[in-house]
Structure 1
Amino acid sequence: MKIAVCGKGGVGKTFIAGSLARCLVESGHPVIAIDADSSPNLALSLGLTSEEAARIAPVAENDALIRLKTGTDYSGVFRLTFTVDDIIRDHATPTPSGAHLLVMGTVRAMGSGCACPAHSVVKALMRHLVVERDDAVILDMEAGIEHLGRGTTRHVDSLLVVTDANRKSLEVAATICRLARGSDIARVGLVGNRVEGERHETAIREFAREHGLEVIALIPYDAGVAEAGISGTAIDETASTAFRAICNLARDLGERK
């Protein structure tokens, strides 16, 4: 099961990605969680402290690793063929959630399609994780639509486009869904988050109907999640209606795979 989670910034996609990872671990899956956001914070959702998260070296920014994989004896020339399975073994961080975390980091080069060494390593690693491994993989994508242009989500089973009832969030979600329709992704649809009452649900469902979009799930507003975000503490999973709804979503995605 390979699931990418995206959406407008601030809609709660990282919470949903982290909760999906936790739910899949609970159900017995080995899980690799990938933080592909340019402002990574999935580590916190997986139970690491801020200090522990700060010590993680993003793959794209790990100069020693990039040189090891792509370096040659010739200046300006780098290898295009290399193995990446050892990156997972040596650089994936175990988390209290039970999932292992890889932080991709930002490729600091001109152009989204650059042929720089860091880009080559990240691209090869992403393909290996999504196509060649049997682990459940959860990708927390960067906000907006840039990742679609780079093909980062290619080959995943499901693209979950997170939105709340705010019209701007819904418009961004519709754009993401439209751009993803021409891809090989089997299932693309909306996950409504922080749904507080009938008005929110109606706004999301009517927008989806008008734009021909599937509503895959609706996650209720949960005051405990909001409080945990403010205090920086973990949510009480046993009492969280949002977390249980996300676990139901994980189960549904597994059954439909």
Structure 2
Amino acid sequence: MRIALTGKGGSGKTTLAATLARTYARRGYRVNALDGDPNPNLAAAIGISDEDVARLRRVPREAFLEDHHDEAGNETSHLSHSIQEVLADYGVMGPDSVGVLTMTGLLGAGKGCICGQHSAVRDVMEQLASSEPQDVTILDTEASIEHLSRGTVRNVDALLVVTEPYYRSLETAGRVVPLAHELGLPAVWVVANKVRNDQDREAILQYGASRGFEIIAAIPYDAQVGEADLLGLSVIDHAPAAATVAAIGALGEDIAQRLGAAIPVS
């Protein structure tokens, strides 16, 4: 399974991505989490120590991919190294054996765009289509919609659009979903996050119905998520019995069923 998450800044997509990765790993999947945000925070959200986070290096294209040109000048890309090999050189192994890689990063002030990095992420995700059934790749994207125009998430099995129950966040989802469909993604699902009450839930459902969204989960608001962030901990470690963790676990199971992913035999 190749799952990408997108959403407005502050929607909670990184926390959701991290908890989803840990949940899948605990169920026996072999999980790798790719941080596609140039302001990377996924490793910390997964529960990796500051010391190990400091060891992460951005993965250059050539570490993963080998590009070939045919006689007509058309370019094709193939994996030059396995993801395990790249992890050994550039990544870290987090709790529950979740492998973490940083795929994008700023070049420095005034140093230009990182379009090439986004194209590398897109090509890597394409090559991971041939992964084993027990493999899960979680891609956390930047808090914007530019990665959709670049096609960064073109080669995923499912895109989760994370939204909060207020107008600006819903409007962002309203822009993302049509763009994702234009890319031809096979599954584009909206996840409502930080839902406090039935009024929040109803507002999101009504908005989704008016725009033709498929909303597959409503993750409840939980103050323990904020507490975990203040303490520099992952929410699944800080509050493993939290309603948010349970809801994300149920979401992960639903996604696996929808994508026809077999439950690994541990």
Structure 1 residues 118-127 or 168-177, which shifts more? 118-127
Match of 2:70 in 1: none
- 8 Å contact from structure 1 (residues 164, 170) kept in 2: yes
- Classify the secondary structure of the residue corresponding to 1:58: coil
Q: Which residue of 2 aligns with 1:132?
A: 130
Partner of 1:179: 179
Instruction: State whether residues 31 and 137 of structure 1, in contact with CA within 8 Å, keep that contact through their aligned partners in structure 2.
Output: yes
1:113-124 maps to which residues of 2 (within 5 A)? 121-124=120-123
Task: Answer with 47-56 or 215-224: which moved more.
Answer: 47-56
Alpha-carbon shift at residue 112 of structure 1 (Å): 6.8
Instruction: For 1:11 and 1:55, locate their aligned partners in 2 and report how far apart those are by CA, in whole Å.
Output: 27
Distance in 2 (CA, whole Å) between partners of 1:200 and 1:95 is: 34
Other structure's SS at 2:47 match: coil
Unaligned runs of 5+ in 2: 68-74, 260-266
**Which residue of 2 is the match for residue 151 of structure 1?**
151
RMSD: 2.5
Mean Cα displacement is larger for which, 220-229 or 101-110?
101-110
SS in 2 for 1:181: helix
Which residue in the other structure is 1:233 paired with? Answer: 233
Cα 1:84–1:120 shift into 2, 3 Å: farther
What amino acid does structure 2 have at the position aligned with 1:99?
V
**Given the superposition, is the C-alpha separation of residues 69 and 234 from structure 1 closer, same or farther in structure 2, using an over 3 Å criterion?**
same
Instruction: State the SS of the aligned residue for 1:190.
Output: strand
Comparing 85-94 with 239-248, greater Cα deviation is found at 85-94
Q: For 1:234-255, what per-residue CA distance to the aligned partner results, in whole angstroms no more than 9, with x for missing partners?
A: 3334321101100100000111
Give the partner amino acid of 2:43. Answer: A
Other-structure match for 2:92:
93
Partner of 1:244: 246
Following TM superposition, where does structure 1 have runs of at least 4 consecutive aligned residues deviating by more than 4 angstroms?
79-82, 107-114, 118-123
Percent identical among aligned pairs is: 37
Q: 1:48 to 1:40 in 2, by over 3 A?
A: same
SS at match of 2:213: coil
Partner of 1:73: none
| TM-score of the aligned structures, taking structure 2 as reference length | 0.82
Residue pair 1:155, 1:184 contacting (<8 A) in 2 also: no
Partner of 1:13: 13
Equivalent positions of 1:175-214 (< 5 A) are 175-214=175-214
Structure 1 portions without partners, runs of 5+: 71-78
Q: Report the Cα distance in structure 2 between the residues aligned to 1:188 and 1:227, rounded to whole angstroms.
A: 31
d(CA) in 2 for partners of 1:87 and 1:256? Answer: 25
CA distance, structure 1, for counterparts of residue 254 and residue 210 of structure 2: 24
Aligned length: 242
In the other structure, the counterpart of 2:256 is: 254
Task: State the shift of 1:208 in Å.
Answer: 0.7
CA deviations on 1:70-126 (whole Å, 9 max, x unpaired) are 8xxxxxxxx975643245413342111321111101375756765xxx566544433
For the residues of structure 1 that align with 2:10 and 2:119, how far apart are their CA atoms? 29
* Partner AA of 1:22 in structure 2: R
Where does residue 217 of structure 1 map in the other structure? 217
> Could you state the TM-score of these two structures normalised by the residue count of structure 1?
0.84
1:190-223 CA distance string (max 9 Å, x none): 1011100112111211111111111111000111
2:34 and 2:251 map into 1 onto residues whose CA distance is: 19
Segment drifting more, 150-159 vs 83-92: 83-92
Tell me which residue corresponds to 1:76. none
Q: What do the CA deviations read for 1:36-91 (whole angstroms, capped 9, x no partner)?
A: 0111110011111223212200114x9x959x968xxxxxxxx9756432454133
The 10-residue stretch of structure 1 (218-227 or 119-128) with the greater mean CA deviation from structure 2: 119-128
Please, which moves more after superposition, 104-113 or 243-252?
104-113
Letter in 2 for 1:95: G
Segment of structure 1 superposing worse, 148-157 or 88-97: 88-97
